[in-house]
Amino acid sequence: MLLPINCIKSTEQFTLHLHIGQNDWGVTYTSTKICGVKGSTVDIHCSYRYAYKVRGYYTKVKKTLWFTKGDDDTPVDLETDSDYRGRVTYQCVDKACTLKITDLRQRDSAVYKFKFITNQAGGRFTGSPGITLSVTDLQVQVITSTVQQDSTRAELKCQSTCSPDHTTYIWYKNGQIQRETSSSFHTHIHQTDRVSCAVKGHEKFPSPSVYPPNLPSVSVSPSEIVEGSSVTLTCSSDANPAAKYTWYKSDTHLKSIHEEPQFVFRSITSSDSGQYYCESGNKLGTSRSESVSIDVTYRPNLPSVSLSPSEIVEGSSVTLTCSSDANPAANYTWYKSDTHLKSIHEEPQFVFRSIKSSDSGQYYCEAGNKLGKSRSESVSIDVKCE
């Protein structure tokens, strides 16, 4: 897109000190400011003039160039500038010159000056102040939106930093032309729709599309979660405008618990175990992720020991039971205090089918998993004779 703004003649003095009028030498630009759409091609025009003859010598133009860097004495010719390599061409016909720049980039925004050099001693001229080129990319702005059951009613506007008020825009939905407008565009947007715009006549250079958030993905780090460690949930969803994120825990009855892309547990506890999901949303809609499970592992708590029955008679059946909260589940080992730490049983329950007086003594259990071990208090067995 090329948008010229008025005309200017150079007033810069040239370096040739001769008794001729200033107007014998000069550069005239067709405009002072030009806008170009990112990715498109722009033509910058000027014409120049010089004295036909100086002190009996005919003037011949030896070189013409355009530059944005350097100064009148040391200009960097765009044709040799690495930032423009392969993207610029010059064309001069009858003192009218055109600079063509293809594949416009944001960094091409600059002031462009034309310079010509002649065979006359000091006969060179740079046109000032030059032409200001502004490169812009089109953007679709969401003016208003109303989220409905299966779509969003939206008013959209195509914008750039330098488009004139009466530019005609072409609107696309999923790559198909919808209509032409000079102002805003009203449409219904469904979950998979993509809407973009382009300046009429420059349809090959459309804006980025706007669309509701895609299905969010959720990641958990680290994969193995130990109580007391730091755990991060991350939600991401492709969307334009960029999505905002809300976290939920399945047992909180749709009450949000966090409103950032990342949800960090600085020191996670067993009570944080559960199902979590996130919701991504922008002005064009919302999307909910699949649930992710948080399973917090921890070493066994202090085991509790029970004895049944409480009155123990020789020959009766007696059961010791050990239990401890742990994740993963604990394994259990039984010890008698007088066995010098030699295990006597490896199950949660230790059953005496027919207890003897020699079984009297102090017993305790140990609960353990891969994260650690925990030992119970001792329990006393006193076997009475029949």
Token pair in block for residue 339: 């066995």
Dihedral sign, Cα of residue 196, residue 200, residue 204, residue 205: negative
Give pLDDT tens digits for 232-253.
999 999 999 999 999 999 887 7
Domain boundaries, the chain: 8-136, 139-199, 217-294, 304-381
The reported pLDDT for the residue numbered 11 is 42
**CA–CA–CA angle 15, 16, 18 (5° rounding):** 145
The reported pLDDT for the residue numbered 327 is 96
* Residue 78 backbone dihedrals phi, psi, to 5 degrees: -60, -30
Q: Residue 90's closest CA among 108, 116, 55, 70? A: 116
CATH number of 217-294: 2.60.40.10
pLDDT tens, residue order, the chain (386 aa) = 444 434 444 444 344 433 344 568 999 999 889 988 888 899 999 999 999 888 888 999 999 999 999 988 899 999 999 999 999 999 999 999 999 999 999 999 999 999 999 999 888 899 999 999 999 888 999 999 998 888 999 999 998 877 666 788 999 999 999 999 988 999 999 999 999 999 888 888 899 999 999 999 999 999 999 999 999 999 999 999 999 999 999 887 778 899 999 999 999 999 999 999 999 999 999 999 999 999 999 999 999 999 999 899 999 999 999 999 999 999 999 999 887 778 899 999 999 999 999 999 999 999 999 999 999 999 999 999 87
Give pLDDT tens digits for 291-321.
999 999 999 999 999 999 989 999 999 999 9
Three-state SS string over 2-24 comes to CCCECCEECCCCCCCCCCCCHHH
- Give the alpha-carbon dihedral of 57, 58, 62, 65, to 10 degrees: 110
Phi-psi category of residue 129: left, alpha or beta, with phi > 0 → left and psi -120 to 50 → alpha:
alpha
CATH number of 304-381: 2.60.40.10
Which fold does the domain 8-136 belong to in CATH?
Immunoglobulin-like (2.60.40)
- Spatial distance between the Cα atoms of 103 and 92, rounded to a whole number of angstroms: 21
CB 190 within 8 A of CB 150: yes
Three-state SS string over the chain comes to CCCCECCEECCCCCCCCCCCCHHHCEEEECCCEEEEECCCCEEEEEEEECCCEECCEECCEEEEEEECCCCCCCCCEHHHCHHHCCCEEEEEECCEEEEEECCCCHHHCEEEEEEEEECCCCCEEECCCCEEEEEECCEEEEEEEEECCCCEEEEEEEECCCCCCCCCEEEEECCEEEEEECCEEEEEECCCCCEEEEECCCCCCCCCCEECCCCCEEEEECCCCECCCCEEEEEECCCECCCEEEEEEHHHCCCEEECCCEEEECCCCHHHCEEEEEEEEECCEEEECCCEEECCEECCCCCEEEEECCCCECCCCEEEEEECCCECCCEEEEEEHHHCCCEEECCCEEEECCCCHHHCEEEEEEEEECCEEEECCCEEECCECC
Token pair in block for residue 139: 């953007």
CB 333 within 8 A of CB 259: no
Strand partners, 18: none
The reported pLDDT for the residue numbered 7 is 43
The reported pLDDT for the residue numbered 47 is 95
Give pLDDT tens digits for 200-214.
888 888 999 999 999
- Spatial distance between the Cα atoms of 191 and 281, rounded to a whole number of angstroms: 11
Residue that is written with structure tokens 């119970």 in the block? 376
The reported pLDDT for the residue numbered 15 is 42
Give pLDDT tens digits for 69-114.
998 889 999 999 999 999 999 999 999 999 999 999 999 999 999 9
The reported pLDDT for the residue numbered 56 is 85
Q: Residue 379's closest CA among 323, 298, 328? A: 323
CB 277 within 8 A of CB 290: yes
CB 141 within 8 A of CB 127: no
Kindly report the pTM of this predicted structure: 0.73
